[in-house]
Structure 1
Amino acid sequence: MERPGAGGINSNECENVSRKKKISEEFEANTMDFLVDMPFATVDIQDDYGITDEPQINSERSKEKERIKSDRVKKRKPKRKDYQPNYFLSIPITNKEIIKGIKSLQNAVIQQDKRLAQTMVRDGSFHITLLVMQLLNEDEVNLGIDALLELKPFIEELLQGKRLTLRFQGIGTFKNQVGFVKLVEGDHVNSLSEIAETANRTFQEKGIRAGESRSFKPHLTFMKLSKAPWLRKNGVKKIDPDLYEKFVNHRFGEEILYRIDLCSMEKKKQSNGYYYCESSIVIETFSPGNSSMTFHTRHFCICCL
C-alpha cells in the first residue's frame, strides 16, 4: 500500500479543506442576503463581518495579535445575533415609466439566462430603503409610528414646499450579488441623506434600535442572486455585467417623494406585491397661489386604500 510522503495531504484532509471553503462561501452569501435590502448594504459589509478579499501574507503572527483578533470576532458575534432589523422605512416606486424600464431590464437578463428569473424583484416591491430598525412588539411598533409622524414636519420644512425629485439612471451592483438601478447624484441625494439621518436620530431618541454605522447609499434593487441560492451550486456565483450591458446608461425616469411607509420585513406582503405597511406619511408640496392640507395616517397605511 502506498503511503503519502512527508508533508503530504491525505484524502480526508482534502475533504475537510473543501468543506471549510464551501461553508465560508455559504456564510458570505447568507450575510449578503440579510443585508442587501438595507440602506447601507455596500462594500463595507465584508469589512464589518471579518471577510476580506486581500491575500493572506505567509508570515508568523504573534500570539498577542491572534488574541486581539479573536477578541474582536467574539465581540462582533453577539451584536450580529442580537440586532436583526425586521422593519424599515420605505419610499415606494410608483412611476410607471421607471417600473416599465426595470421590467424591460429584467426581461432582457432573463432572455439571456432563464435561470435568473427567480432572482428578480417583483414590480410591486420596488422601493428605496430609508432606514432599518428592530421593533419587537406592538408597543415598539406604536413608537415607530410616532417617530414616523414626527419626521413629517421636518421633511416638509426641509423641502419648503418644493418637490424632491429622484432621478434614476444606470446600473450598479453590490459585489456582483445584488443588481440595482442607480440614483443620479445631485442635490436631491443630499436632501434624501439629510432625511435619512434625521429619521435615524428620531427613531433612536424613541429608544428604537435603528440604523447602522455605514454611510447612506440609496439604491433601487431589481435582482438578488440570494433569492435563488441553488444557482451557486450550478456555478452562477456572480451577476455577469454583459447581462445588463445595454442598460448601463439607460435613463429609467424620475420619482417624486410623496410618501414614506413603515413596513414589515416579516409579515405577509399585500396582494399587489408591496410590503405589509403599518403606517404612512404623505409629504405635501405647495404650488404658488394654492393651499394644501397636511395629512398623515396612524395605524393604517394609505398604500392599502
Structure 2
Amino acid sequence: MKPKNHLQEESHESDSAPKQGVEDTLTLSEKVQDIPFQTPEIDTGHFCSGKDVPKGKKRKLGQGGNKSLREAAHNGKILRKSPRPNYFVGIRVSDCEIHRAIVRIQEAIIASDPNLYQTLIDVASSHITVLVMYIDSDIGLSIASSALDTCWDRLKEDTEKGPIQMTFSGIGSFSDRVVYARLREDEHYLRLLRLAKEVRQIFSSANVCLPDEKPMHPHLTIAKMSKVHQKAGGFPRKINPAAYQLFKNIHLGCQSVSGLQLLSMTKPKDKERYYYCANEIIFEESCKERGDHSHCCFPRRPLGYV
C-alpha cells in the first residue's frame, strides 16, 4: 500500500535496531532502554537541547524575544526552550473494545471525584505518540510530510511480515498525575520500539522533530492532570489510584498498527473527534476497521464529560 497524502496548502507527543545477544535475564524494557524516544504522552512542556545553549549575555525568563526561545537555567547553563510542539506522528487506537474499557475506567475515576472529568482524554482521539515537532510554515509541513513518506520505504519490509499487534493490559500511572493503559511487553512490543526508533531517526535527519532523549515508554493515556489548566481551590492535586484499583489488571484489548499519521494538535478535529491528519502511510488497510462505537464514542461517553 502506497503512502496516502492528505497534505493541503494553507494561506497564511544512526543507531541500528536494538542489539542482539543481550542476556536472557533482562526484561524487554531493559533491553531497549538505550533507545532514545519521545515520550508518547503529548506533553507540550519543556523541550531543551544542549546544542541550543545561547551565547552572550543571559536574559531573564519572559523578557524580550520570541516566547518560544525563552531561556531556562539547567545545571549551571542557560538553555533555550524549544517551541511548543504543534504536530506529532501518531498511531491511531480505534478498536471499540479498547475504547469501551477506557470508558469504564474513566467512569470509575469521575465516580471517585466528579471534578476529575476535566482530566479525561476523549476516547475518540485515542492514540500512541511516536514523536512531536513544531511546524510554523507550509514548507516545514511539506518536509515533515515527506519524512513520513520516507518511513514507508524503511518500514515496509518489517510490516510485510504481518501487522504489529499492540496488546493493552493493565493500568499504570506517572506520579498519580497521568493514568494510562500499559502495553504488554512481547515480541510485537519490540517491533513497535524498532519502528518508533526508525521513524525518530528519519524525522531527526530532516530536522523537523523536537529534541528529546527520554527513554521510550509507549502507553495509551486515559486521564492526565495537565489537561486542567486552571485548578480551583480544593481541586485534587493527583488522581487517587483507589479510583481505578478494580481495573488495575484489566485486559483492554488488541490494536493492529495499520499505519502512521502526521497529526495536528491545534487544528480543529474531524467529525469523529480525531486529530486533523495532514498525511498518513498505511501498512494494512484491513487493520483500519473500527467496529461499533455507539457504546463508547458516539454518543460521547462517559456521561457528563464535556
Normalised by the length of structure 2, the TM-score is 0.67
**Distance 1:144-1:110 versus aligned 2 partners, 3 A rule:** same
Identity, % of aligned positions: 28
Encode CA deviations 1:37-74: one digit per residue, 9 max, x unaligned: x62559xx99x89xxxxxxxxxxxxxxxxxxx967354
Tell me, in whole angstroms, the C-alpha distance in 2 between the residues paired with 1:232 and 1:211.
34
Q: Quote the residue 1:105 is aligned against.
A: 105
Q: What amino acid sits opposite 1:284 in the alignment?
A: E
* 1:229/1:285 CA distance change after superposition, 3 Å: closer
Change in CA separation of 1:71 and 1:160 when aligned onto 2, cut-off 3 Å: closer
Root-mean-square deviation over aligned CA pairs: 2.6
Determine the structure 1 residue equivalent to 2:157. Answer: 157
Query: How many Å separate the matches in 2 of 1:86 and 1:123?
Result: 20
Distance 1:177 1:194 in 2: 28
- Letter paired with 1:264: S
Partners of 2:74 and 2:148 in 1: CA distance: 38
Residue number in structure 1 paired with 2:181: 181
SS in 1 for 2:190: helix
Report if aligned partners of 2:156, 2:283 keep a CA contact under 8 Å in 1.
yes
User: Are 1:225 and 1:231, in contact at CA under 8 Å, matched by a contact in 2?
Assistant: no
Q: Is the 8 A contact 1:156 1:284 kept in 2?
A: no
Name the CA shift for 1:70/1:189 in 2 (closer, same or farther; >3 Å): same
CA distance in 1, matches of 2:114, 2:257: 34
Residues 131 and 209, structure 2, Cα contact 8 Å, conserved in 1: no
Aligned to 1:116: 116
Map of 1:54-65 to 2, 5 A cutoff?
none
CA distance in 1, matches of 2:216, 2:168: 17
8 A Cα contact 2:92 2:128, kept in partner: yes
Amino acid aligned to 1:75 = I
Q: Partners of 1:234 and 1:129 in 2: how far apart? A: 32
Could you tell me whether the CA contact under 8 Å between 1:123 and 1:273 is conserved in 2?
no
The answer to whether the 8 A contact 1:180-1:220 is kept is yes
Change (3 A) 1:199 1:210: farther
Conserved in 2, the CA contact under 8 Å of 1:143 and 1:206? yes
Match of 2:143 in 1: 143
Secondary structure (helix, strand or coil) at the match of 1:210 reads: coil
Q: CA deviation at 1:125?
A: 0.9
* 1:187-202 alignment runs, 5 A limit: 187-202=187-202
Does 251-260 or 276-285 show the bigger shift? Answer: 276-285
Residue pair 1:40, 1:212 contacting (<8 A) in 2 also: no
Give the count of matched residue pairs: 224
Q: Identify the range of structure 1 (138-147 vs 222-231) with the bigger mean alpha-carbon deviation.
A: 222-231
- Quick one: distance in 2 between partners of 1:245 and 1:121? 19
Deviation, structure 1 residue 105: 0.9
* Corresponding position of 1:75: 78
AA at the equivalent of 1:257: V
Distance in 2 between the 1:167 and 1:142 partners? 33
| 2:171 corresponding residue in structure 1 | 171
Contact 2:41 2:219 in 1 (8 A): no
Deviation, structure 1 residue 256: 0.3
| Paired letter, 1:72 | N
CA change 1:211–1:272 in 2 (3 A) is farther
- Bigger fraction of residues in helix: 1
Higher gyration radius (CA): 1
Is the contact between residue 41 and residue 174 of structure 1 (CA under 8 Å) also seen in structure 2? no
The 2-side partners of 1:244 and 1:193 are apart by 28
Query: 5+ residue gaps in structure 2?
Result: 1-37, 50-71, 287-306
Greater relative CO, 1 or 2 (CA 8 Å, sep 6+): 2
TM-score after normalising by structure 1: 0.67
What letter corresponds to residue 83 of structure 2 in structure 1?
Answer: Y
Post-superposition Cα deviations, 1:64-106, rounded to whole Å, max 9, x if no partner, equal xxxxx96735423x1x2x3322210111111100001101111
Report the Cα distance in structure 2 between the residues aligned to 1:41 and 1:75, rounded to whole angstroms.
Answer: 26
